[in-house]
Structure 1
């Protein structure tokens, strides 16, 4: 790894680095260590970051208690969201 990727750049250095990268042609970028994306991977890709919305829905009390008692940092709502998100990702992949 070069010093360029590990040291903190000044604003001027950052501007110069961004200009250098912007001027590069696609064929000059070394992608030899990046695997190709397959058509199957594109079919199950989820684009960008999703936004969250507040919802009210009935959930069994025992389910909520389990998440409250088993979630890291007492953030059970985020853990429920993560589990639901993973379920959707798995379902999309299975259908793909």
Structure 2
């Protein structure tokens, strides 16, 4: 018996081409982090942990306490 395979593989056989095509389509493309464009007036739902006394301070004014917290955060952020 010979050490060579019965049918020598060529670089352009169907299996090699299929594997190359598969690798092309499954290769991971590095993700580029994109920053979302801020739309004016659009609010985002978040979960926020704040101290109880701070929460009570804003809730003392009645309804609208979430907007007051938002206004205070905007002021603190210089916006």
TM-score, with length taken from structure 1 = 0.37
Q: Normalized per residue, which structure has more helix?
A: 1
Structure ID, larger Rg: 2
Could you tell me the TM-score, scaled by structure 2's length? Answer: 0.44
